[in-house]
Amino acid sequence: MRPLDPLSSIKMKLGAVIVAAVAVTVLVVSVGTGAGASPVVSALAAGALSLGLVQLLAHGMTSPLREMAAAAKAMARGDYGRRVTASSHDEVGELARAFNAMATQLAEVDRVRRELVANVSHELRTPITSLHAVLENLVDGVEPADPETLRTMLRQVERLGALVAQLLDLSRLESGAVPLQRRSFELRPLLDDAAGETRLRTTDVRVAVSVDPVGATADGDPARVHQVVSNLLDNAVRHSPAGGTVELRATRSRAGVTIEVSDEGPGISEEEKSMVFERFYRSDSARSSKDGGAGLGLAIARWIVDLHGGDIRVEARQPHGCRMVVVLPVVKA
């Protein structure tokens, strides 16, 4: 029972409690005097009723604090599902709503942590299991140490190294431990370098680069922007059919720079557009592919773009395919 919840401050509630206690006291004494009761009896009855009323009203005022104490103890045990009734409009009600918001955030952090541990374990276990099997066969003499077997082992080691590097990058970005080295840089050399590195990793997909206008520049950390472009190109090439073309285009305007990476793959459904930038999220086509990646590239790209104050989004490409759009704003002096 919380009859004082509509009041907007603790001061008003305390005043209401005092006024109610005085009113009850005066009323009981008046009634007792009119009935011819002893002043002592009237005073004792008035005091008892006043204390009962104060206890009732105070219980409603402090019940959110007791709920928060119980919920905090439960959270210390790992139970993040407890919430506090936040019907009051005063400072205690604001505290209760802030507590509920904090509990929701902690529950989400705990969920992400559990998923991260599970996903990292899964991603690490796959190449480690492959390496273990191959090495065991080599040691037992089941297979010879031929170049193809060694190349397979090297690919698994490279996959492990790439995953660890991505995890470290994501950890640094999320903790804010990666300061941006902002400066003005020319776009064409950076895009050509990223496209060249991608061409070294695949010969089945063509990468076309265009910059408008020629000699256009951008404001930001060129090393981090290069990382974003490389991640987007890797995803685009991975999902493009053999013989397809990935277009890497950059345009400069007064508002900033827009970088687009377009592929000819199956595209991304509307339901998945809001999830592709989550850590370890992979589309159905990526899950079915042996080299589908760990699902960290787009999460890292989003963090880098956010640090630049920019925007990254997914668009559909006609008649099929996907277009990843990065917008980097102009840094105002």
Report pTM: 0.59
Q: What is the pLDDT of residues 178-203, one digit of tens each?
A: 778 889 999 999 999 999 988 887 77
Give residue limits of the domains in the chain.
Answer: 10-103, 111-175, 183-329
Q: Using DSSP bridges, classify how beta strands 183-186 and 206-212 pair: parallel, antiparallel or unpaired.
A: unpaired
Q: Are 87 and 2 in contact (CB under 8 A)?
A: yes
Residue 303: CB atoms within 10 A of its CB come to 22
CATH class held by domain 183-329: alpha beta
pLDDT attached to residue 285:
47
CATH class held by domain 111-175: mainly alpha
282 band by pLDDT with thresholds 50, 70 and 90 = low
Q: How far is CA 117 from CA 114, 124, 162, 274, in A?
A: 5, 10, 17, 22
Average pLDDT over residues 197-224: 88
**ω before 127 within 30° of 0 (cis)?**
no
pLDDT attached to residue 290:
47
Task: Please provide the average confidence, as pLDDT, over all residues in the chain.
Answer: 80
pLDDT attached to residue 286:
45
